[in-house]
Amino acid sequence: MSTKFTINHTDGLARSGVLSTAHGEIRTPAFMPVGTAATVKGMMPESVAKTGADILLGNTYHLMLRPTAELIADMGGLHKFMNWNKPILTDSGGFQVMSLSKLRKITEQGVVFKSHLDGSEYNLTPERSMEIQHLLGSDITMVFDECTPFPVSVEDAEKSMQLSMRWAERSKNAFVRREGYGLFGIVQGSVFPNLREQSAAALQQIGFDGYAVGGLAVGEGQQIMFDVLDFTMPHLPTDKPRYLMGVGKPDDIIGAVMRGVDMFDCVIPTRAGRFARGYTADGEVNLRNAKFATDPTPLMENCPCPACKSYSRAYLHHLFRAEEMLGAMLLTWHNLTFYQQLMQGLRDAIATQKLTDFAESFLARYKKSDTTA
């Protein structure tokens, strides 16, 4: 056994279940807060757990540069290092190599790149990515892939996808299998149905514990993303978890869950929290707006987070105007709580066969007005 995935309920294409790992169970559909550098910005690990999160995401690229995977291993692994005793998924570094590194050179062997921190040269291969994630102690390891940019020609998308499939096989061969730890493949192929189908088939031929859809949330827009899911998901096995990488906003998540996605990650709720943008049932709120300066009400009624239970919109507005770090901390806590409440609502709706009603009700209220102006 590696990881174990159990589907408990279905509603249309949507599923709710449990993914069991070495460090505990993950309720699905699941949202993973992003802890890129072994920390969720502005949050204590205990606070992240209180939001309802079952799993965090860490990043191979950032941790290999600083403080290094070897140091983390010497410290007892990533769970102990960052004081998080629940599951951790680490992405393989492919996206960051594309988006952050300097002077990268892609070959059949891997990627040679210069660090965005100090210009030092590194060579990241599928084998090295697996080694790093093993040193970190990741419960869920992601194969090393090339994140295809958008827009892209069909010829370049095919070339990129085929390279990622060869790297996926090498990742599988280098992965150290053990009880409670899993390896996920990543479907590539940009917006082209035949390439996505070929990629899904190639990954299943290799065999993985779960399947991610990569190469989205890179500027293609929501409708194209949903179109890609519509023609990709039927080609993925129904008994394995499905992970949509880098997504997204609440309406993105709802639409993807209704198409059969089980797992998500995104920096949006934490990044928004640092920039005074709060997520509420009535849409996004910009707490720098002057209209909140004398607003005594909580950010959102019936929200259990400290920002809503103990403070007013006026106080949060003041914190951001005064550039006090507490504002970002409180709003990040709220946003992550809001996302986890959304995931619980989706799980409950699937279990009771009321997903369509839940989605329609949530989106009708969430999108009824622009509260960020």
88-113 tens-digit pLDDT = 999 988 778 767 666 688 999 999 98
- Please give the span between the terminal C-alpha atoms of the chain, in angstroms, as a whole number: 51
Q: What single-letter DSSP state applies at residue 287?
A: T
Work out the average pLDDT over 55-82: 97
Q: Is the dihedral of CA 267, 22, 68, 177 positive or negative?
A: negative
pLDDT of 340 above 90:
yes
Query: Residue 344 half-sphere exposure, CB side, CA atoms within 13 Å?
Result: 10
To the query of whether residue 74 is one of the catalytic residues in this protein, the response is no
Q: Tell which residue, 270, 264, 291, has the closest CA to residue 278.
A: 270
Active-site pick, 11, 91, 139, 252: 91
What is the predicted pLDDT for the residue at 95?
77
8 Å CB contact between 279 and 269: yes
8 Å CB contact between 158 and 166: no
Residues of CATH 3.20.20.105 domain(s) within the chain?
9-266
Average model confidence (pLDDT) across the chain: 95
What is the predicted pLDDT for the residue at 102?
62
What is the share, in percent, of the chain residues with pLDDT greater than 90? Answer: 91
Span 239-274, pLDDT tens digits = 999 999 999 999 999 999 999 999 999 999 999 999
What are 174-179's contacts with CB under 8 Å, separation 24+?
174/126, 174/127, 174/130, 174/131, 175/130, 175/134, 175/141, 176/130, 176/134, 177/2, 178/2, 178/22, 179/1, 179/2, 179/22
Q: What is the CATH number of domain 9-266?
A: 3.20.20.105
Active-site pick, 139, 145, 209, 265: 265
CB neighbours of 73 closer than 8 A, spacing ≥ 6? 135, 136, 137
Looking up tokens 């049932």 gives 281
pLDDT band at residue 52 under the 50/70/90 scheme: very high
SS3 category, 203: helix
Work out the average pLDDT over 202-229: 97
pLDDT of 204 above 90:
yes
Q: Tell which residue, 52, 58, 18, 70, has the closest CA to residue 138.
A: 58
pLDDT band at residue 368 under the 50/70/90 scheme: confident
102-106 and 111-114: which strand pairing?
antiparallel
pLDDT of 184 above 80:
yes
Q: Which residues are bridge partners to 284 per DSSP? A: 279
Work out the average pLDDT over 324-331: 98
pLDDT of 200 above 90:
yes
Q: Tell which residue, 123, 109, 22, 105, has the closest CA to residue 64.
A: 123
What is the predicted pLDDT for the residue at 369?
60
Residue 222 CA: distances (Å) to CA of 227, 253, 268, 370: 9, 10, 15, 18
8 Å CB contact between 6 and 35: no
Tell the burial category of 102 from Cβ atoms under 10 Å away from its Cβ (0-12, 13-18, 19+). exposed
Integer Cα distance of 287 and 275 in angstroms: 9
| Planar angle of CA 172, 175, 181, nearest 5 degrees | 110
What is the predicted pLDDT for the residue at 99?
72
What is the predicted pLDDT for the residue at 373?
45
What is the predicted pLDDT for the residue at 357?
98
Span 154-175, pLDDT tens digits = 999 999 999 999 999 999 999 9
Integer Cα distance of 77 and 69 in angstroms: 8
pLDDT band at residue 1 under the 50/70/90 scheme: low
pLDDT of 22 above 90:
yes
pLDDT of 182 above 90:
yes
Work out the average pLDDT over 182-201: 98
What is the predicted pLDDT for the residue at 250?
98
Integer Cα distance of 334 and 303 in angstroms: 8
What is the share, in percent, of the chain residues with pLDDT greater than 70? Answer: 97
What is the predicted pLDDT for the residue at 101?
67
**Helix ranges restricted to H, the chain:** 45-50, 60-65, 69-74, 78-82, 94-99, 126-136, 154-174, 193-206, 222-232, 250-257, 268-274, 306-310, 313-321, 325-351, 355-366
pLDDT band at residue 230 under the 50/70/90 scheme: very high
Integer Cα distance of 156 and 152 in angstroms: 6
Range in 38-42, 144-148, 206-210, 311-315 with the lowest mean pLDDT? 144-148
| Token pair belonging to 253 | 């998540």
Integer Cα distance of 245 and 242 in angstroms: 10
Looking up tokens 């699941």 gives 30
Q: Tell which residue, 252, 188, 247, has the closest CA to residue 226.
A: 252
To the query of whether residue 139 is one of the catalytic residues in this protein, the response is no
pLDDT of 278 above 90:
yes
